[in-house]
């Protein structure tokens, strides 16, 4: 069994969009510029727009080097985790350091709130794929769904997205997450679609709530309604599937430790299949480990629809 307990590197996470995505967590739990009603991580405890070196970049790169040397396979290295990654002031340095280390493409999953800052746009330029969010088409819905830091102005967020999209030579996907009865309504989606037309991403990825949400009232839009709403976008739009990703368990010979499972579940609630796929564990082995970790109260479980999600205990939400 591997013995290193990683602080910043977690996963690979099974991702609907990225296949097996090795996560880098650059932000303390749960530091974010938003406090979205649908957040799967729980309540934002540090609502901030202050960019700081929350983690030592050299330590993150050293961990990544060790993880890659262990022979894991992944499709992306993703800057994402316990909060908003662009709050990390060394994002640019980290992307440059990863590029020196490996050819594995880098993705940044961001709420996009700070893209109005020229330095953030500059730092993300060397990423291969950036996936910012846009969940509302006007300031009132933005305030309701994303509950941003008071200094964040909706119009400026949109301007930042347009400016970044116009300048970025990598792939840009715009994630739009719809909440039933809130943003998952025709008129609201028309407003979002009008802004997406100005941003001009490669495509819009349209999703709904699939994991246990922070607020009970943040519920999934029904699949038939999602299909209709997708038709309101003029550009290319992809409906994200509600089900768990199907990623092959390569040969299920992973040396993932219990600490690796806890690391993953601290950043992202996952189903048994998701854990097995992400960490390349045999499902029986994953089930045994989850049972043990549940018994030891290191994790807890929540049912969402037909799927049971496991989450690290001791986190809020
Ligand atoms: S969903 Fe993302 S942007 Fe929204 S509060 Fe959670 S971590 Fe922050």
Mind listing the pLDDT tens digit for each residue in 33-87? 999 999 999 899 999 999 999 999 999 999 999 999 998 889 999 999 889 999 9
Poorest-pLDDT segment among 17-21, 63-67, 105-109, 146-150: 17-21
36 lines ligand 1 (CB under 6 A): yes
User: Is the residue at 296 inside a domain?
Assistant: no
167 belongs to a structural domain: yes
Q: What is the CATH number of the domain that holds 108?
A: 3.20.20.70
Q: Is the CB of 15 under 6 A from ligand 1?
A: no
Q: What is the DSSP string of 153-213?
A: -HHHHHHHHHHHHHH--SEEEEEEEE-TTTT-SHHHHHHHHHHHHHH--SEEEEEE--S--
* 130 within a domain of the structure (yes/no): yes
Q: Is residue 260 part of a domain?
A: no
Ligand 1 within 6 A of 114 CB? no
State whether the beta carbon of 31 lies less than 6 angstroms from ligand 1: no
How far apart are alpha carbons 314 and 146 in whole angstroms? 24
Give the chain's domain count. 1
State the DSSP string of 257-303. -HHHHHHHHHH--B-HHHHHHHHT--HHHHHHHHHHHHHTTSEEEEE
- Flag whether pLDDT at 116 surpasses 80: yes
Is the CB–ligand 1 distance for residue 83 below 6 Å?
A: yes
Tell me, what's the pLDDT at 1? 42
Say whether pLDDT at 199 is over 50. yes
186 pLDDT band (50/70/90 cuts)?
very high
Residue 307 lies in a domain: no
Taking the CA of residue 82 as reference, the ligand 1 atom at the shortest distance is: 7
Flag whether 105 is in a domain.
yes
Tell me if 262 is assigned to some domain: no
Structure pTM? 0.86
pLDDT at 162: 98
Containing domain of residue 209, as a range? Answer: 9-242
> Across 76-80, 244-248, 266-270, which has the greatest mean pLDDT?
76-80
Atom of ligand 1 nearest to the CA of 41: 6
**98, 148, 156: which is closest to 123 by C-alpha?**
98
How many angstroms separate the alpha carbon of residue 259 from the centre of ligand 1? 24
User: Does residue 298 carry a pLDDT above 60?
Assistant: yes
Whether 21 is in a domain gets the answer yes
Supply the mean pLDDT for the chain. Answer: 92
């Amino acid at each position: 069994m591997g013995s290193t307990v990683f602080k910043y590197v977690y996963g690979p996470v099974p991702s609907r969009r990225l296949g097996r995505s090795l996560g880098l967590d650059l932000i303390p739990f749960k530091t974010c510029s938003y406090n979205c009603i649908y957040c799967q991580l729980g309540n934002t405890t540090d609502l901030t727009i202050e960019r700081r070196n929350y983690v030592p970049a050299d330590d993150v790169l050293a961990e990544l080097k060790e993880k890659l040397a262990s022979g894991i396979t992944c499709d992306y290295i993703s800057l994402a985790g316990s909060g908003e990654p662009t709050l990390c002031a060394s994002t640019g340095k980290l992307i440059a350091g990863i590029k020196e280390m490996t050819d594995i493409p880098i993705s940044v999953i961001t709420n996009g709130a700070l893209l109005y800052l020229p330095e953030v746009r500059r730092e993300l330029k060397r990423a291969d794929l950036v996936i910012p969010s846009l969940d509302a088409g006007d300031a009132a819905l933005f305030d309701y769904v994303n509950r941003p830091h008071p200094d964040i102005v909706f119009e400026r967020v949109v301007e930042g997205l347009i400016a970044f999209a116009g300048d970025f030579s990598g792939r840009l996907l715009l994630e739009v997450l719809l909440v039933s009865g809130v943003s998952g309504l025709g008129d609201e989606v028309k407003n979002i679609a009008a802004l997406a037309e100005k941003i001009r991403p490669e495509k819009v990825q349209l999703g709904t709530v699939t994991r246990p949400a922070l607020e009970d009232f943040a519920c999934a839009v029904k699949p038939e309604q999602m299909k209709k709403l997708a038709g309101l976008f003029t550009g290319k739009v992809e409906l994200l599937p509600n089900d768990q990703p199907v990623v092959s368990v390569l040969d299920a010979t992973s040396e993932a430790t219990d600490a690796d499972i806890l690391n993953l579940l601290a950043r992202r609630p996952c189903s048994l299949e998701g854990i097995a796929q992400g960490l390349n564990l045999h499902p029986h082995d994953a089930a045994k480990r989850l049972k043990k970790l549940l018994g030891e109260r290191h994790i807890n479980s929540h049912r969402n629809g037909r799927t049971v999600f496991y989450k690290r205990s001791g986190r809020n939400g």
